[in-house]
């Protein structure tokens, strides 16, 4: 008997200001999948990810989590997704430790917070206010959430922004570990991933379709 995908997207469509952002989108994502969303700037990659997180509401179409419409299991769905966007979303007046505590599940221990910050190269910076850290370090604070999250579905929008080669390696290793234990990842990035079994999904914008016609 076939397994039910973690995520199913069925003819998802979004219209803004009477303009179609992209053609209807359909795909499914199973445990262990990494799906790289591709498309030119302005094609709607960030919009799609925001729709999947429920930050935006689709004009039509549906999103299913483990075979059930997310409208019927909304809180369970939210508990099982992690979203990291373009901006690191750190509070500058808080320390790296305080930010990660605020962004992590309530059950996360002090030892887990410390270990997560160490994993992303912030050992020794735990108590430093984030206004004293660089843009790359802000990004590492946000990415440390990947080491404390228990969510099954990760949505990562340009996760490699402002991090160096070491940071990229750390992030890709954590992503590989997540899918190896039954999670899945959807991400947008212009960077080629040095990872196995990455499935690519290309968005065709409505404007592209009109030009082809």
How does residue 162 score in pLDDT terms, banded at 50, 70 and 90?
Answer: confident
Question: What confidence tier does 195 reach under pLDDT thresholds 50, 70, 90?
Answer: confident
What is the reported pLDDT for 212? 41
Residue 65 and residue 157 in one domain: yes
57 & 156 share domain = yes
Average pLDDT over residues 116-125: 95
Question: Is residue 167 located within the same domain as residue 134?
Answer: no
pLDDT band at 1 (very low <50, low <70, confident <90, very high): low
Residues 76 and 2 in one domain: yes
The last residue of a domain, from among 103, 126, 150: 150
Q: Which residue among 128, 150, 172 closes a domain?
A: 150
88 shares a domain with 75: no
In a shared domain, residues 58 and 2: yes
Contact predicate 8/31, CB 8 Å: no
**Residues 170 and 70 grouped into a single domain:** yes
Same domain? 58 vs 110? no
Domain that holds residue 75: 1-80+151-213
Count how many domains the chain has.
2
């Amino acid at each position: 008997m076939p397994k039910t995908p973690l995520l199913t997207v069925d003819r998802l469509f979004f219209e803004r200001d009477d303009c179609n952002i992209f053609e209807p989108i359909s795909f499914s994502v199973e445990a262990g999948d990494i799906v790289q969303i591709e498309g030119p700037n302005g094609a709607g990659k960030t919009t799609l990810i925001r729709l999947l997180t429920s930050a935006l509401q689709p004009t039509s179409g549906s999103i299913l989590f483990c075979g059930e419409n997310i409208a019927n299991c909304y809180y369970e769905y939210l508990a099982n997704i992690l979203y990291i966007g373009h901006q690191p979303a750190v509070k500058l007046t808080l320390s790296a430790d305080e930010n990660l505590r605020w962004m992590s599940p309530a059950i996360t221990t002090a030892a887990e917070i410390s270990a997560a910050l160490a994993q992303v190269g912030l050992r020794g910076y735990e108590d430093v206010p984030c206004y004293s850290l660089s843009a790359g370090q802000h990004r590492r604070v946000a990415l440390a959430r990947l080491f404390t999250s228990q969510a099954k579905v990760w949505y990562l929008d340009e996760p490699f922004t402002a991090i160096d080669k070491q940071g990229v390696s750390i992030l890709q290793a954590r992503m590989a570990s997540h899918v190896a234990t039954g999670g899945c990842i959807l991400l947008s990035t212009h960077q080629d991933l040095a990872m196995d079994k990455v499935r690519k999904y290309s968005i065709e914008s409505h404007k592209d379709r009109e030009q082809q016609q």
